[in-house]
Structure 1
Amino acid sequence: MPSLFLPLIASALAILGTRQARLVAQLSARLGGNAALLAVCWLTAAFATTAVAWGGAALAPLMPPEGKTMFVAAALAAAGLELVWPMRKAAPREPTRSLGAIALVLLAGQVTDAARFLVLALGVATAHWQLAAAGGTLGSGAVLTVAWSLGHQWEERLPLRAIRTALAATFVIAAVVVAMTARGIIG
């Protein structure tokens, strides 16, 4: 079950303070909580997460066990770095209200975000990429659903700067510990 729960928790935490959740909240506020937007969020999360988990399974046979652990450490460090990277203050303008355009923007952002990189690493480290994809989809989809439901209150109710800083520190510390474990320095 770690193949399911680790990606679920990691992706939920990684996407919590990211641009994707903020964008979904802003679009939900602008489009009036459109249910089709929520469906697009879940579909893009499922597609992006499944693609990277499958990619992780394809990489897994090429890596030695220590390499897999170092890959997880690199993913944790990348997640931490993404969370400390400053976000734009201004909300993007959505001129078309096209769900297709929104889906492309969300998909492009999700394929390259820290949550998907963590799922990729966990897909490499575990033998069950399907469970990693399911966990990553559930974690990301749940956070995007909360962002969608809160709309403009997303940034008002959540201390996003503090959350991003705390999560970044947690991911970087975890990356150091995992890397030291992979190198045989600890544990």
Structure 2
Amino acid sequence: MISSDLLDMMAFSYNKGIDSLDGALAMVSERWLYLPSSDELPCSDDTPVDNEDQNFIPNLLLFLLEFIWAERNDWFFGVDMGIYHTTGINPLVPVVPDGFLSLGVARRKGGQSRKSYVVWEEEGVVPSFVLEVALGIGRSRYTSGDVQREVLYWYDERGKRYLTPEEQLARYRERFGELP
């Protein structure tokens, strides 16, 4: 199967008068020579747009992974971080999910935190899990003490909401009393 990048390159080559595959491949190689480093790419636009839940969920996942995989150094979980890649129209425009996990990469790059996740600096390793918290789906009111907020709940295919662990525990106590 021919990739869309190869087809684009072939069409561009034809329009530029490059009539051999070697010439076209040389042009693709040149494209990779001019990709900026992570130090040259923007890592923040200083525009806060996430709400509390969009920060809480990916940061909780990061905390759990750091606890569970404390001894591992072959993974990276980014939160609200730009992912620069070459599969889109412009490699200078990042995708910025709420969170993402990449496996098979160094936890810290050269002992430093990453400013952005730059796929061409990660030997082509793309995230294997991407999280985008979609507010408005499964939304309901939740009260904790005197604080009330909207939260997301899981629903089954029939639209019935799954009980939270706290609700499951309360239901158990109603039926059977305290835990043994």
Same fold (TM over 0.5): no
| Structure with bigger gyration radius | 2
TM-score, structure 1 as length reference: 0.29
RCO greater where, 1 or 2, for CA within 8 Å and sep 6 or more?
1
TM-score where L is the length of structure 2: 0.29
Structure richer in strand, relative to its length:
2
